[in-house]
């Protein structure tokens, strides 16, 4: 049977990439060059990336999930290009343009019920930055509750709010005050037992109520909760169904705002338009970014209800390049794609491929501690020991390198091997790509034992 994928590369890096990377190391910040894949790209099309040596890679990273339906689609690029020719750059805070209102109206039309206002931002990080300021301004309270394992960006504020790994907030966390963290509701790594009798019904919320609010912070000082509804970079962790009603009840009791960071989960990645839709959660605020620009232009937004985003007008938000005409044109074109193509149906098919292909690894390979799948997200967590659940980053990185040598791009995050295919990738091609991932896992496991 003929392959649906490009052949694996002869060598990574190839000679031209090696030459260029050596030059990059002399010019760029070392942390930038050290974090990238060991090749230099020359083009990207659909779900493949081609490097300067002619090697083609299957893209299961999707630009950190910011390229939702493949690269270089003319129906997404052309509207942005035409807007660039008409406008160039314009500060949308000062000169409103004709694409702003239609985009805001369409976002609110597909958003969870109750969200009625839109603020503009350049990207997801800026959306979260704005959300933090809005929550404090709307409530007059200083403290925001975040979750261990969450990722919200790498500015001082967002790195202090996030807690995926201590490295991200190094030398920043001490500068960003007003954040309190509790463990994310992670069934595989929960530090809690079952929910206590007479409690909320959820152990994470019980801990928040019984310990954090008793020992650490007065609930009257809390502006609200900011959380990823499904952990993205932190390893595709899906909260149990008991979590959301218990959290919503707590927010209602103490008059807290609930803000969902849907920067990575929004616009189809989880198999629903927004991850909030999986549980029918109605947040007070919702942060958007990444996929919102269709993989063409950077853009973000903060959606809010009347209480959260309507009672004041004295808070300066966003930045000069927020909602450029070209970015709005690309976002509108992507919403057209979501309306006219069965993107969500394909994502659900990709989910089934991930579950059926990767799921059995838990029973077959002792070093695979957990496999988690949600729509177009998949994560494989490696452990040294099934009982202790000690993480095995050396094995994870070896698997990622094995995937690369087989011509497949995955993400070796701080917690797991993450896979994020194009939402419109053919399920058969995706299954073949995951076959290469499994080959890399088998090889790395045998080499390390």
DSSP secondary structure string for all residues of 155-198: SHHHHHH--S-TTTTTTTTTT--SEEEEE---TTT-SS-SPPTT
Residues 217, 159 share a domain: yes
Q: For residue 1, is it within any domain?
A: no
- Per-residue pLDDT reduced to its tens digit, 122-158: 999 999 999 999 999 999 999 999 999 998 898 888 8
Could you tell me the pTM of the whole model? 0.96
For position 211, what pLDDT does the model report?
96
Residues 322, 205 share a domain: yes
Token digits for 264?
């990575």
Is residue 173 pLDDT above 80, yes or no? Answer: no
Q: What's the CATH number where 127 sits?
A: 3.40.640.10
| Contact in structure between 259 and 227 (CB atoms under 8 Å) | yes
Q: For residue 238, is it within any domain?
A: yes
Mean pLDDT over each residue of the chain, to the nearest integer: 95
From 375, 232, 289, select the one nearest 67 (Cα to Cα). Answer: 289
Q: For residue 69, is it within any domain?
A: no
Residues 255, 348 share a domain: no
Question: How sure is the predictor about 163, in pLDDT bands with cuts at 50, 70 and 90?
Answer: confident
Q: For residue 115, is it within any domain?
A: yes
Residues 365, 247 share a domain: no
Question: How sure is the predictor about 188, in pLDDT bands with cuts at 50, 70 and 90?
Answer: very high
| Contact in structure between 54 and 71 (CB atoms under 8 Å) | no
Q: For residue 361, is it within any domain?
A: yes
- Per-residue pLDDT reduced to its tens digit, 360-417: 999 999 999 999 999 999 999 999 999 999 999 999 999 999 999 999 999 999 999 9
Residues 349, 334 share a domain: no
Q: What domain count does the chain have? A: 2
For position 336, what pLDDT does the model report?
98
Question: How sure is the predictor about 176, in pLDDT bands with cuts at 50, 70 and 90?
Answer: confident
Q: For residue 293, is it within any domain?
A: yes
Residues 229, 126 share a domain: yes
Is residue 112 pLDDT above 80, yes or no? Answer: yes
The SS3 of residue 247 is: helix
| Contact in structure between 6 and 56 (CB atoms under 8 Å) | yes
Q: Buried b / exposed e across 141-179, counting CB within 10 Å, b at 16+?
A: bebbbbbbbbbbbeebbbbbbbbbbeebbeeebeebebb
Residues 81, 50 share a domain: no
Residues 190, 87 share a domain: yes
Hey, which residues does 285 pair with through a beta bridge? 259, 304
> DSSP string covering 295-332, please?
TTS--EEEEE-HHHHSS------S-TTTT-HHHHHHHH
For position 36, what pLDDT does the model report?
86
| Contact in structure between 271 and 376 (CB atoms under 8 Å) | yes
Question: From the CB of residue 315, how many other CB atoms can be counted at a distance below 10 Å?
Answer: 13
Alpha carbons 138 and 163: distance in angstroms, whole number: 24
Which whole number is the average pLDDT over 24-39?
A: 89
| Contact in structure between 409 and 57 (CB atoms under 8 Å) | yes
Q: Which of 292, 319, 340 is the last residue of a domain?
A: 340
For position 449, what pLDDT does the model report?
80
For position 177, what pLDDT does the model report?
83
- Per-residue pLDDT reduced to its tens digit, 322-373: 999 999 999 999 999 999 999 999 999 999 999 999 999 999 999 999 999 9
Which whole number is the average pLDDT over 89-108?
A: 94
Is residue 1 pLDDT above 60, yes or no? Answer: no
Give residue 352's domain range.
15-59+343-448
Q: For residue 192, is it within any domain?
A: yes
Q: Which of 340, 374, 399 is the last residue of a domain?
A: 340
Residues 286, 245 share a domain: yes
For position 388, what pLDDT does the model report?
96
10: left (phi over 0), alpha (psi -120 to 50) or beta: alpha
The SS3 of residue 65 is: helix
Q: For residue 104, is it within any domain?
A: yes
Question: At residue 106, what are phi and psi to the nearest 5 degrees?
Answer: -70, -35
35-44, 253-262, 265-274: which has the minimum mean pLDDT?
Answer: 35-44
Residues 193, 92 share a domain: yes
Which whole number is the average pLDDT over 61-72?
A: 96
C-alpha count within 13 angstroms, C-beta hemisphere, residue 19: 6
Q: Which of 340, 355, 370 is the last residue of a domain?
A: 340
Which whole number is the average pLDDT over 218-240?
A: 97
Instruction: Count the helix, strand and coil residues of the chain and give each as a percent rounded to the nearest 5.
Output: 40, 15, 45
- Give the chain's length: 449
Residues 334, 351 share a domain: no
Q: What's the CATH number where 382 sits?
A: 3.90.1150.10
Residues 178, 304 share a domain: yes
Is residue 103 pLDDT above 80, yes or no? Answer: yes
For position 442, what pLDDT does the model report?
98
Alpha carbons 376 and 38: distance in angstroms, whole number: 25
């Amino acid at each position: 049977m003929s392959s649906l994928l490009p052949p694996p590369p002869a060598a990574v890096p190839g000679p031209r990439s090696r030459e260029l990377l050596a030059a990059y190391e002399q010019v760029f910040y070392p942390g930038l060059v050290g974090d990238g894949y060991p090749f230099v790209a020359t083009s990207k099309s659909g779900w493949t990336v081609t490097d300067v040596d002619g090697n083609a890679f299957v893209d299961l990273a999707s630009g950190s999930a910011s390229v939702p339906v493949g690269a270089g689609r003319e129906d997404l690029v052309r509207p942005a290009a035409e807007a660039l020719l008409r406008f160039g750059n314009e500060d949308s805070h000062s000169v409103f343009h004709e694409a702003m209102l239609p985009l805001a109206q369409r976002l609110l039309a597909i958003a969870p019920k109750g969200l009625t206002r839109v603020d503009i931002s350049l990207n997801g990080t800026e959306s979260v930055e704005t959300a933090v300021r809005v929550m404090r301004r709307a409530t007059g309270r200083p403290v925001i509750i975040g979750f261990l394992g969450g990722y919200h960006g790498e500015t001082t504020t967002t790195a202090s709010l996030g807690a995926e790994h201590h490295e991200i907030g190094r030398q920043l966390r001490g500068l960003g005050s007003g954040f309190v963290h509790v463990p994310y509701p992670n069934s595989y790594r929960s530090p809690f037992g079952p929910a206590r009798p007479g409690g909320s019904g959820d152990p994470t919320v019980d801990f928040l109520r019984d310990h954090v609010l008793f020992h650490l912070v007065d609930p009257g000082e809390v502006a609200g909760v900011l959380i990823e509804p499904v952990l993205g970079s932190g390893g595709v962790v899906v909260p149990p169904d008991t979590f959301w009603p218990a959290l919503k009840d707590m927010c209602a009791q103490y008059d807290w705002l609930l803000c969902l960071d849907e920067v990575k989960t929004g616009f189809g990645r989880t198999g629903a338009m927004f991850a909030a839709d999986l549980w029918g959660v109605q947040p007070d605020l919702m942060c958007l970014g990444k996929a919102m620009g269709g993989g063409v232009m950077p853009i973000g937004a903060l959606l809010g209800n009347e209480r959260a985003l309507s009672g004041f007008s004295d808070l300066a938000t966003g930045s000069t390049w927020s909602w450029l005409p070209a970015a709005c044109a690309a976002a509108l074109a992507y919403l057209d794609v979501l309306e006219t193509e069965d993107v969500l149906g394909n994502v659900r098919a990709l989910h089934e491929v991930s579950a059926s292909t990767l799921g059995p690894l838990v029973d077959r390979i002792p070093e695979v501690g957990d496999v988690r799948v949600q729509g177009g997200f998949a994560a494989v967590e490696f452990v040294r020991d099934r009982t202790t659940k000690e993480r095995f980053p050396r094995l994870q990185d070896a698997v990622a390198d094995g995937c690369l040598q087989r011509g497949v791009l995955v993400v070796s995050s701080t917690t797991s091997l993450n896979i994020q295919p194009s939402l419109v990738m053919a399920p058969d091609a995706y299954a073949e790509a995951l076959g290469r991932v499994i080959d890399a896992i088998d090889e790395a496991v045998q080499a390390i034992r």
